Amino acid sequence: MARRKKIYEGTAKILYEGPEPGTLIQYYKDDGNRTAIPPHAAVDGKGVLNNRLSEFFMAGLNSIGVPTHFMRRLNMREQLVRMAEIVPIEVVVRNFAAGDITNRLGIPLGMALPRPIVEYYFKDEKLGSPLVSEEHIIAFGWANQQDIDDIVALALRVNDFLSGVMMGVGIRLADFRLEVGRVWEGDFMRLIVADEISPDSCRLWDNRGLDTPEPDGAPRVPVPLPDPYTELAKRLGVLPSNVTHTTRPTLIN
């Protein structure tokens, strides 16, 4: 049997040519994600869980009418997706202050933002994925104004869906990052959610006690969800039965 063609190997996933034109197979590795929160090298069993978790979120989005690349799961580590032309922008949606917005702007960690804040980062790791504005995106032709309007609408729908699902299992979605791609249906282009939605792309806090402020009115210091892959899969009921370790995965390098 001919070996299938590898198209790209990134930090967290490998992309192979799919069985039909316009499809790809995403293989989820255990390797870490430099941009994960917090960054890490590799976590044993992570790929199996992220394959399930990304399926769970993308299939959920598909079912409420938010288009994503997800088609179906193939096995423990692989899923079939629609091939998309990725917009070279990482879209970040923030609900609570953390990371960059705390470090750069001094907004207290954990503070509820007055409205969801959508940010764009140029997808170029060598440049350190710099923050860019709509002006840069339009001037350099990465997307046009209509695309940006559609991307914001898409990102906010994903935000409401993910925030609600997480809240239902006692988790606060502080922020997350999204990749969007173009697909063509005849002459009609549309933007769909691509890449993955998993603890590697979401900042997740345990919701317990977060709604009651400190006695001096300051926001509670948020507690990151311990072992987010297993914990999230367990709470959402998508832990594969043949994954033996239900305890904390171990860092393997």
Residues that bind ligand ADP (CB under 6 A): 8, 10-13, 15, 24, 69, 81-84, 86, 179, 181, 194-195
Residue 207: CB minimum distance to ligand ADP, A? 27
User: Euclidean distance between the first and final Cα of the chain, in Å?
Assistant: 34
Closer CB to ligand ADP, residue 11 or residue 102?
A: 11
Query: In the complex with ligand ADP, which residue's Cβ is closer, 8 or 188?
Result: 8
Structure tokens at 163: 């925030």
Shortest spacing between CB 214 and ligand ADP, in angstroms: 37
Q: How far is the CB of 162 from ligand ADP (least distance, A)?
A: 17
**Smallest separation (angstroms) from ligand ADP to the CB of 68:** 9
Spell out a b/e string for 131-160, using b for 16 or more CB atoms within 10 Å of the CB, else e: ebeeeebeeeebbeeebbebbbebbeebbe
Residue with smallest beta-carbon separation from ligand ADP: 10
Q: Closest approach of Cβ 67 to ligand ADP, in Å?
A: 11
For residues 77 and 172, which CB has a smaller minimum distance to ligand ADP in the complex? 77
Give 110 or 181: the residue with its C-beta nearer to ligand ADP. 181
Smallest distance, Å, CB 52 to ligand ADP? 16
CB-side neighbour CA atoms (13 Å) of 48: 15
Q: Residue 147: what residue type?
A: D
Secondary structure letter of residue 37 according to DSSP: S
Closest CB to ligand ADP among residues 182, 235: 182
Q: State which residue, 121 or 205, has the beta carbon closest to ligand ADP.
A: 121
User: Distance (Å, rounded) from C-alpha 84 to C-alpha 18?
Assistant: 12
Asked if 201 and 232 count as a contact pair (C-beta separation under 8 A), the reply is no
Q: Closest CB to ligand ADP among 33 and 97? A: 33
Strands (E) across 76-170 are located at 78-82, 85-86, 89-96, 112-122, 131-132
Minimum CB separation of residue 110 from ligand ADP in Å reads: 27
